[in-house]
Chains A and B, each alone.
Chain A
Amino acid sequence: MKKYLALVLALCMVFALCACGQKAAPEASKDATAASVEPAAELIKVGIINNDPNESGYRTANDKDMKATFTKESGYEASFAYSLKNDEQIAAAQKFIQDEVDYLLISAAGTSGWDSVLKDAQAAGIRVILFDRTIDADESLYEASIVSDMALEGKTAVDWLASQNLETYNVIHIQGVMGSSAQIGRTGALDEMVAANDKWKLVTQQTAEWNAETAQQIVQAVIDSGKEFNVIYAENDDMAKGAVAALDKANISHGVGKDVIVIGFDCNKWALEELLAGNWNYDGQCNPFQAAYIDTIIKDLEKGTAPAKKVVIMQEKGFDASTITQEDVDKYGI
């Protein structure tokens, strides 16, 4: 009897898994078949290859933005494919080429291995636009690449911090996953400043791998050791949140006009709300809204004008707690 019960449970589970597994993938094929049934000549067909929207809040916002922009109403016939794996993405690209899309929009999971499929696309007259991530391929293979400049994000934040004119800067630096582009960019700016300036010191520099709890442990270790610090520079919002939890536990004040300055990145909505409440001091944007840029480039290409620059760097803001407004939170929070 128990055996059967177990079997039934297992089957339920398998169905549940299938159900959610299907969620992302068939969407693409559904749209693709719909497109082949009623070929709408006036619509521009785009194949969008993205990372899994579940990967992070950033990606979720990015995907939402894409879906909101490339609609029938605005003249697009969009198909989506998601994967965190490079080879699956390449396979999806090949499928889109067979489906004869007009544009391929790619946010690549890995940087290498794309040459041949992009050449195929070029041969088929399909134009390629990269977004969010660059790849190791000849520039002639794509029309444009829309990316964030992580180093610039870091520099903006560090410059803002410098403008606070503290007597000394004793910084707890919490890094993201080592080797990721966001970590390299955001760490680089701070390292430069610390190396060049005697007033700046790193109390600790540790990776919390984007994890709030690990960040909390790192800050807790500093607090337990009794070292002085007055800045927390966390390379994403989650880690800043973890750091703040440790501060709260030790009754160390933080935020606007308080003992410790808190800096985060990515502009999650809840993080901007913290800013608005004055609990944090600064949040650097990592703009997930590339769709508008892509839309402009495609419209231009359709008119026959190529983009002025191959690499388009998006505008990214940094928000200061003392100047942020509710509108900013609603508009830029992801």
Chain B
Amino acid sequence: MASFKSASQESAAKRIGSFLAKLVKHQIFIPIAALLILVIFNLIADPSFFAISLDQNSLGNPVFSGYLITILDNASELVILAIGMTLVTAASGGQDISVGSAIAISGSVMLRVLCGTNSRPEVLQAPIIVAFLVCCVVAMLFGAFNGTLVAIFKIQPMVATLILFTAGRSVAAWINKNELPIISDASFGYYGNFIPGIPIPTPIFIAVACMILIALVLKFTNLGLYTQSVGINANSSRLNGIDPALIKFITFVILGLCVAVAGFIKVSRFSTINYSVIAKDIEMDAILAVALGGNALNGGKFNMGASILGAYVIQFLTTTLYKFNVVSSALPAYKAVVVIILVVLSAPIVRDKITETWKKLAPVKIAKEAS
């Protein structure tokens, strides 16, 4: 009887051990673990971290507030960009570093359409939906430009997008003739803030909509299979009837669409634009989100959910650092240290080691507990 019990315990221990080992091996483990660590850290430091309260804003509308809402709200643009960046990375084995500049352009286009020639319009010169569609088209055209350089002229993605990275913000300024238009129509601000009566920030809805959309696209089309296949082996893909150039091109256009949506949220947050700083360095965060998700930056297999989680991890980290009032000049250093730890943890070598130790440790631990 006793021996039976110990045997069953042992097998249970083994099962748990192998389950944990499997979990560690799974791609989504790193962003989840990072998120958990941040959550635990914050909970210990401040138990009220996750409190959400229903307040009113200055216009008298109900709004939820609290760190969690702030994080979800502010991560929205990054999440949307991470979706496009994941696809570009998977198919082309490189990254688009021009998304920040492209956001400046698409935001600028949007305001130009809404304002016409007057930088302080009393009334909108065009419906918001029209402006948004125009901005989508323009952003997708710029995506197509990058995509053409990468897919047809076979230029390294980083180099190809360097062009727009350098020129983008000047182009954005030129579109509005260096004016800084401001939209006074309150309804424009709904998309980056709150819709009156709905207490959840609108960007959260937009981000969730984008996530659902990409989930549906990945489920009901072969985008996932094609991009991964092209990223892993373009030769084989071509011989199986896939056009690698077209797929790469499409991923850049999709990223362009993501840029338009993110740009829309960004300009809507303040109803204006500052060409030189809007969405500054967001491309690096988007790439980091992809990397934190455990996706190979040289293309191939990807896990969209992991990238999206990665984006939330980055925003969580940023907000945490603000909360703890880290000295400004040391902020990048803190961020860098955390990122290094995460990236090292996500390296296959390290993960294999963790898996091994876990396997060895788990039975011992449980045996001890049993005795």
The residues of A with any CB-CB pair to B shorter than 8 Å are: 2-3, 6-7, 9-10, 12-14, 16-17, 20-21, 23, 52-57, 60, 175, 178, 204-207, 209-213, 216-218, 220-221, 223-226, 238, 241-242, 245, 247-253, 268, 270
Contacts and interface: CB of A to CB of B under 8 A. Distances in A.
Interface in B156-188: 163, 167, 169-171, 173-174, 178, 180, 182
Nearest to B279: A213
A24 to B, nearest CB: 8
A251 B245 contact: no
27 contacts: A2-B246, A2-B249, A3-B245, A6-B152, A7-B152, A9-B145, A10-B145, A21-B170, A53-B173, A54-B174, A204-B322, A206-B322, A206-B326, A207-B329, A209-B280, A211-B280, A213-B269, A217-B70, A217-B322, A224-B323, A225-B323, A238-B274, A241-B272, A249-B193, A250-B55, A270-B182, A270-B272
Contacts of A221: 67, 70, 319, 322-323
A217 B270 CA distance: 13
A249 B57 contact: yes
B63 interface: yes
Given A20-B174, A224-B66, 12 more contacts: A7-B152, A10-B152, A12-B141, A213-B74, A216-B269, A220-B70, A221-B319, A221-B322, A241-B270, A247-B58, A248-B57, A249-B63
Contacts, number: 142
Interface of B: 46, 48, 55-59, 63, 65-67, 70, 74, 141-142, 144-145, 147-149, 151-152, 163, 167, 169-171, 173-174, 178, 180, 182, 193-194, 245-246, 249, 266, 269-270, 272, 274-278, 280, 318-319, 322-323, 325-329, 331
Contacts of B55: 250-251
Contacts of B246: 2
B174 A23 contact: yes
Given A17-B167, A213-B266, A6 B148 contact: yes
A245 B144 contact: no
B70 A6 contact: no
A250 B63 CA distance: 8
Nearest to A6: B148
A4 B291 CA distance: 34
3 closest pairs, A vs B, by CB? A54-B173, A221-B322, A207-B328
A119 B56 CA distance: 64
B178 A53 contact: yes
Contact of A178 (B48, B276, B329): B329
A175 B325 CA distance: 13
Nearest to A210: B277
Contacts of B171: 16-17, 20
A286 B275 CA distance: 19
A3 B152 contact: yes
A217 B74 contact: yes
A216 B277 CA distance: 14
A242 B167 contact: no
Contacts of B193: 245, 249
A210 B149 CA distance: 33
A207 B335 CA distance: 14
B178 A213 contact: no
A206 B330 CA distance: 10
Contacts of A238: 274, 277
Most chain-B Cβ atoms within 10 A of its Cβ — which of A7, A178, A221, A225? A221
A21 B164 CA distance: 12
Contacts of A209: 277, 280
Most chain-A Cβ atoms within 10 A of its Cβ — which of B46, B57, B59, B194? B57
Nearest to A183: B328
B332 to A, nearest CB: 9
B148 A9 contact: yes
Nearest to A8: B148
Contacts of A216: 269
B331 A206 contact: yes
